[in-house]
Amino acid sequence: MTDQDLKEFLDFKAEQYENSAFIQSDPIQLPHRFERKEDIEIVAFLISTIAWGTRKGIISSGEKLIDIMENEPLNFVRDFSLKTLKNSTFVHRTFNVDDLNQFFLSLQRIYKNSNLEECFSSHPEIQGVKGRIATFRSVFFQSNDLQRSMKHVSDPLRNSACKRINMYLRWMVRDSAKGVDFGIWKSIPTSELYLPLDVHTSRNARELGLLTRKQDDWKALDELMHRLRAFDAADPVKYDFALFGIGAFEKF
């Protein structure tokens, strides 16, 4: 398959799967229940944080998180105290109620003076999304009292592919015209985004000859994004729908 053939195939598959029907079986359906920017970004951040395992399991745990927040995410965060979850038994994989307490405290601190979008401001030394994620981690865990919680936001400076946080950025930044992503963050250009690389998208990328590196890490992500930007420099992460869709819906 030539590069032009591959581009045409990926463009077709991205168009096929990026539509409102996609959200029916995807965890992104949960933040779509909200209209206020702050509610959307809070719910989307928490859902993307627990996004490992089956989509059904992620949605089920996400429903519990929304119930905990009483369907008022921003108001809940602003009024949160450690007593709020004293009887909660929430757990999703290794993310438990102690982590949830820490995340709510960090969110509360952020929303006292700022918002989540501002936490992803440019890094003074590291360009692009890699630097933005590093900036966010330093802000989010600035007053962290529980070291174990830090593992739930991956670190690109330690060569992690940062699948979940890159997925969150895709949700927030990409245009909402097709009814999937939200496009509510205007400070980050779509061209900067990185694909949320996981075992499924990386396997499909290797099958298509887009990726040669064997490890699913940031170096692999750099290699893959270099190829995808050659196909669409303005919106390379649209190909997430193609690489994910052919695996999830076609058993590629």
> pLDDT tens across 31-90, in order?
999 999 999 999 999 999 999 989 999 999 999 999 999 999 999 999 999 889 988 999
**3-class DSSP state for residue 119?**
helix
b/e for 79-109, b at 16 or more Cβ within 10 A? Answer: ebeeeebeeeebebeebeeebbbbbbbbbee
- Cα dihedral 225, 139, 74, 168 in deg (nearest 10): 10
Comparison of pLDDT for 15 and 146, the residue scoring more: 15
pLDDT of residue 86: 86
> What does the alpha-carbon distance between residue 13 and residue 105 come to, in Å, rounded to a whole number?
41
Q: Map residue 62 onto helix, strand or coil.
A: helix
* The pLDDT of residue 144 is above 70: no
CB 10 within 8 A of CB 205: no
Quick check: 143 pLDDT over 90?
no
Could you tell me if 107 and 46 are in contact, meaning their C-beta atoms sit under 8 angstroms apart? no
pTM: 0.96
**Cα 139 from Cα 110, distance rounded (Å):** 8
Distance CA 62, CA 47 (A): 6
Rounded to whole angstroms, how far apart are CA atoms 140 and 120? 10
Which residues lie below 8 Å from residue 125, measured CB to CB, with a gap of 6+?
A: 131
Six-digit token string for 81? 């105290």
Do residues 174 and 160 make contact, with C-beta atoms less than 8 angstroms apart?
A: no
Q: What is the pLDDT of residues 149-170, one digit of tens each?
A: 899 999 999 999 999 999 999 9
* DSSP 8-class letter at 249: T
Query: Can you read off the two tokens belonging to residue 237?
Result: 């992460």
